[in-house]
Copies of this chain bind each other. A is one copy, B any other.
Amino acid sequence: MPASAESVADTRSRIHQAAIDLFTTQGYHGTGMREIAKTAGVSLGNLYNHHAAKEDLFASILDEFEARYTAPDTPLARAFADFESLDDLEAIGDASRRMVAEFADYIRLIYVDVVELEGGHIRRLFGGMRRRYEEVFSERLETMRRRGELGRVDPVAALMTATIAFFYYFNMERVFGVRRLFGVGDAEAVALMARTFREGMRPR
């Protein structure tokens, strides 16, 4: 075999990075193979030595992101693993912020898949979300309930709602570029939302 293994790996990663940079800013159909090749510093024909077609290149990028996103060492997975009291809601909010920052490109590519292709990726990613939350949290939530730390609202649904709110807030900020949606900084926004989920709007 020719071309030392590390230089081949280098080429592949340069192609990947160039494709990510372009797909996230111009979309799928708005990005040409020639443009990817030029950005990656690679010939047009060589792209097809590494990926059979443009769609395969796009799919392989999504797959790689998905593997990293669903790994057990992401900020959100760690925050979920460490969750053991309602005082940890802020930590989930902050983990959501870091997730959106770290995976901003992935999120954009998911939108690309939704609006330009079939959008199957997000359905695979979020299907059965409730079940996964139950597997992750049911034991600890039961412990908290026995300790009298939980009210009467469905805690699994409440945690999903909280995570959704955190995520969408930072999605707005980071991916859509809508700054200071609440008129305050990130930490204060997380605090406002966490307090809302913990205390509710009704007086106590």
Contacts and interface: CB of A to CB of B under 8 A. Distances in A.
Given A112-B115, A175-B114, A164 B157 contact: no
A45 interface: no
This chain's copy number in the assembly = 2
A100 to B, nearest CB: 13
Interface string A106-121: 0010011011100100
Contacts of A86: 201-202
A175 B176 CA distance: 17
A2 interface: no
Interface size class of A (residues with CB under 8 A): 35 or more
Interface in A25-54: 26-30
Interface stretch (A10-18, A62-70, A189-197): A189-197
A107 to B, nearest CB: 10
17 contacts: A28-B30, A111-B114, A115-B115, A119-B177, A126-B172, A126-B176, A150-B203, A157-B189, A158-B192, A158-B196, A161-B165, A161-B169, A164-B169, A165-B168, A168-B168, A199-B202, A204-B204
A59 interface: no
Interface in A142-159: 148-155, 157-158
Q: Interface centre among A26, A164, A177, by most B CB within 10 Å?
A: A164
